[in-house]
C-alpha cells in the first residue's frame, strides 16, 4: 500500500518533492503550478532535504560557454532535471528528492539569469543590421546560432573549438565585443 494522494491543504504543510509532483492529481498539480507561476521568487540555493547546495559557480556568466549553450537548449525543452544537474552538479535522483517549490524557484533564477545575460549581450554586441549587411545576406547566418561566433573566434580552425567552449561565457562576450569594436574602427579608417 503506497502513500495516499496529496491533498491541496497538504502541499502547504509538506511540499511534494519533484518526484511526487510528477504523480500529483490534476487538481492538486494545477494549484502547485499556480503557486509556481504567481508566488515563487527566484532562489539560487537548491535544497535537498537539509542539504543546501549552491550553484557550481556564483553567476551563470562564469559558466563555460558550452554549459551556457546546453542550459539554453534545455530551457527551451523545459528539461528542469538536466538543467539542475549542470548548474548544481547533482544527480537526477537528488533533484527528484528536492521540494518542487524549491526546484522551480531555482529554475526561475536560472531562467532570469539567462535573460539578463541575453539582454546584456544584445546591448554589448547587438545592433540593427545595415541595409548593406541585409543585402549581403547576413541574416542567413542566424540559422547557425553559436557556431558563427565560434568560427569567428577560432578563425575557422575548428581544432581550437574546445578551448573557446571551455572559457567562461563572460570572457566570450568580452572577446566578441572587443572584436566588434576593432572591426568598427577598421571600417571607419578604411573609408
Query: Which residues, in sequence order, are bridge partners of residue 47?
Result: 52
pLDDT given for residue 117 in this prediction: 96
d(CA 86, CA 53): 13
For the chain, the residue count is 191
Q: Identify whether the C-beta of residue 28 lies closer than 8 Å to the C-beta of residue 5.
A: yes
Q: Identify whether the C-beta of residue 84 lies closer than 8 Å to the C-beta of residue 46.
A: yes
Q: Which residue has the higher pLDDT, 38 or 167?
A: 167
The pTM assigned to this predicted structure is 0.86
Q: Which of 6-10, 15-19, 27-31, 147-151 has the lowest mean pLDDT?
A: 6-10
In angstroms, the Cα distances linking 76 to 18, 37, 72, 83, 141 are 19, 17, 6, 11, 20
Q: Percent of the chain having pLDDT more than 90?
A: 59
pLDDT given for residue 4 in this prediction: 65
| Closest by Cα among 43, 63, 59, 19 to 108 | 43
Is 38 a residue whose pLDDT tops 50? yes
Is 25 a residue whose pLDDT tops 60? yes
In angstroms, the Cα distances linking 31 to 6, 13, 28, 126, 140 are 11, 14, 5, 40, 44
What is the tens place of the pLDDT at every residue in 57-91? 999 999 999 999 999 999 999 999 999 999 999 99
Summary mean pLDDT of the chain: 90
What is the tens place of the pLDDT at every residue in 95-107? 999 999 999 999 9
pLDDT given for residue 190 in this prediction: 87
Q: Which of 128-132, 176-180, 186-190 has the lowest mean pLDDT?
A: 128-132
Q: Which helix (H) or strand (E) segment is 51 a member of? A: strand 51-53
pLDDT given for residue 136 in this prediction: 81
For 56, half-sphere exposure in the C-beta direction (CA atoms, 13 angstrom radius) is 12
Q: Which helix (H) or strand (E) segment is 130 a member of? A: none
pLDDT band with cut points at 50, 70 and 90 for residue 3: low
Amino acid at each position: 500500500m503506497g502513500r495516499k494522494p496529496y491533498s491541496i491543504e497538504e502541499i502547504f504543510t509538506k511540499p511534494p518533492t519533484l518526484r511526487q509532483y510528477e504523480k500529483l492529481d490534476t487538481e492538486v498539480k494545477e494549484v502547485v503550478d499556480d503557486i509556481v507561476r504567481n508566488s515563487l521568487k527566484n532562489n539560487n540555493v537548491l535544497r535537498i532535504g537539509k542539504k543546501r547546495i549552491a550553484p557550481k559557480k556564483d553567476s551563470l556568466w562564469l559558466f563555460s560557454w558550452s554549459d551556457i549553450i546546453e542550459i539554453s537548449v534545455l530551457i527551451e525543452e523545459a528539461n528542469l532535471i538536466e538543467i539542475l544537474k549542470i548548474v548544481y552538479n547533482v544527480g537526477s535522483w537528488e533533484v527528484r528528492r528536492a521540494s518542487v517549490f524549491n526546484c522551480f524557484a531555482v529554475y526561475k533564477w536560472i531562467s532570469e539569469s539567462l535573460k539578463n545575460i541575453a539582454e546584456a549581450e544584445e546591448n554589448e554586441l547587438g545592433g540593427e543590421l545595415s541595409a548593406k549587411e541585409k543585402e549581403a545576406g547576413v541574416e542567413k547566418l542566424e540559422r547557425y546560432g553559436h557556431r558563427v561566433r565560434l568560427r569567428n573566434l577560432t578563425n575557422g580552425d575548428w581544432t581550437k573549438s574546445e578551448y573557446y567552449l571551455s572559457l567562461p561565457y563572460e570572457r566570450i562576450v568580452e572577446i566578441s565585443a572587443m572584436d566588434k569594436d576593432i572591426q568598427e574602427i577598421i571600417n571607419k579608417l578604411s573609408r
